[in-house]
Amino acid sequence: MTEQGANQQPHKPVTMQEIADRCGVNKNTVSLALRSDPRVAVATAHRILAVAEEMGYNPLYNDAARRLALRKSGKRIINQVVALFYEGNFTHHRYYAEIFDGLSEVCTLTDFQILLVPRSFDAQGKRLIREFKTLPPIFSRGDIDGAILIDDMRFSKVPHLLFREPSFRACPVMSLLWPAPGCSSVLTDDEQGGYLSVRHLLALGHRHILHCWGPESHLGHYLAKQRVLGYRRAYQEAGLDPEQYLHATVVEPYLSAYENVARRIQDACRQGVPFTAVLAQNDTGAGYARQALAELGLRVPQDVSLIGFDDTEPLLDDARQNMLTTVHLPLVDVGREGAKLLLGRIRGEIAEDTSITLPVELIVRGSTGPPAR
């Protein structure tokens, strides 16, 4: 070894204090700027980031030192990672894609990463091939700051597993679209959506309305209950008895989504229910309903009016234009607000679990009209 090599000193990592001294700010401001915290003025943050890059600041080294110091003091470590539990067919539906767009937008802007944890189904989305029986090891290592559940998680064991895991149970959990004990939540106003749907149909002259919902709930599902409250309120406001005019049938839970809707409509016709309008569970269900009605020789809207719910799947007319009257859900905002609430809980900016409900809007298109005489 040469004398020059023997005298060389190892490179000393740049500290946040050195960056602060160079920029003329305090260390805490540097820490916030490096984490893209919005509390730091944009010009100040840009200047700090430029100086950090010029000085060769290594965030990995300093993060390791920060985590070690926090552990020694017994303080919580923020890893900037949140877990999203979702159904295996999540990526196939615009409904979920819009929620994810909102989530990822906020997380990306705040340098948080999203860990995807799927509940897997087969390629057709029918048969469950992997249920959540245990959490991935990353949870037991304490590397996850919080979790997000989307509505289909209501049937899984995920909340129980999360609150039972020693290394995670003190972390916040966000539930989207349905309320869950021990969780913050962002909901949509389904009760108002139901009200607006029936009010619109009543104004057109409809009275007997068929309500189609998926077999998993038998009208016991949270969202179904909320919408039925809205349906009933619209009838009562119009001086009509919902018990006389609002109809629903129950089918076997093992049927496919299309078979479920078709059987409901077929049963209603067989039983002589004089319905002139159908309320679908969602836009996809509205498509199934139109197909089932067509098989019975009924046209939309000439014979039966049809309303969807979510505004994610078009129902095309002969001119290839979306004709579906539906309730628009602000799904991107559901994701955004959910991410903001969760990150606020993680950072300690929001002290307690919080629930907010976002407004909905009825979008009137060509699938509704006056009842046929």
Q: How confident is the model at residue 6 (pLDDT cuts 50, 70, 90)?
A: very low
Contacts of residues 130-136 at CB distance under 8 Å and 24 or more positions apart, as own/partner, are 130/88, 131/156, 131/157, 132/85, 132/156, 132/157, 132/158, 132/161, 133/157, 134/161, 135/161, 135/162, 135/165, 135/168
Q: Which of 12, 26, 335, 354 is nearest to 150 (CA)?
A: 335
Q: Residue 130: pLDDT above 60?
A: no
Cβ-in-10-Å burial (0-12, 13-18, 19+) of 257 comes to middle
User: What confidence score (pLDDT) does residue 121 get?
Assistant: 52
Q: What is the mean pLDDT of residues 87-105?
A: 85
Each residue's pLDDT tens digit, 345-364: 998 889 899 999 999 999 99
81-188+331-359: CATH superfamily = Response regulator (3.40.50.2300)
Each residue's pLDDT tens digit, 207-233: 999 998 755 444 457 888 899 999 999
Would strands 361-363 and 325-328 be described as parallel, antiparallel, or unpaired? antiparallel
Q: How confident is the model at residue 317 (pLDDT cuts 50, 70, 90)?
A: very high
User: What confidence score (pLDDT) does residue 4 get?
Assistant: 47
Check if the beta carbon of residue 299 is closer than 8 Å to that of residue 64.
no
Let me know if domain 190-329 sits in CATH 3.40.50.2300. Answer: yes
DSSP character for 362?
E
Rounded Cα distance between 44 and 222, Å, is 47
Structure tokens at 257: 């989504």
Lowest mean pLDDT among 13-17, 70-74, 298-302, 346-350: 70-74
Q: What is the 3-class SS of 41-71, one letter each residue? A: CHHHHHHHHHHHHHHCCCHHHHHHHHHHHHH
Q: What backbone phi and psi angles, to 5 degrees, belong to 39? A: -75, -15
Q: Residue 367: pLDDT above 50?
A: yes
Structure tokens at 215: 């077999």
Each residue's pLDDT tens digit, 176-196: 998 888 899 999 999 999 999
Rounded Cα distance between 163 and 177, Å, is 20
Question: Where in the chain do CATH 3.40.50.2300 domains reside?
Answer: 81-188+331-359, 190-329
Count Cα neighbours of 16 within 13 Å in the Cβ-side half-sphere.
Answer: 18
Token look-up 């740049």 returns: 14
- How far from the centroid of its chain's Cα atoms is residue 355's Cα? 14
Task: Tell me the pTM.
Answer: 0.78
11-73: CATH superfamily = lambda repressor-like DNA-binding domains (1.10.260.40)
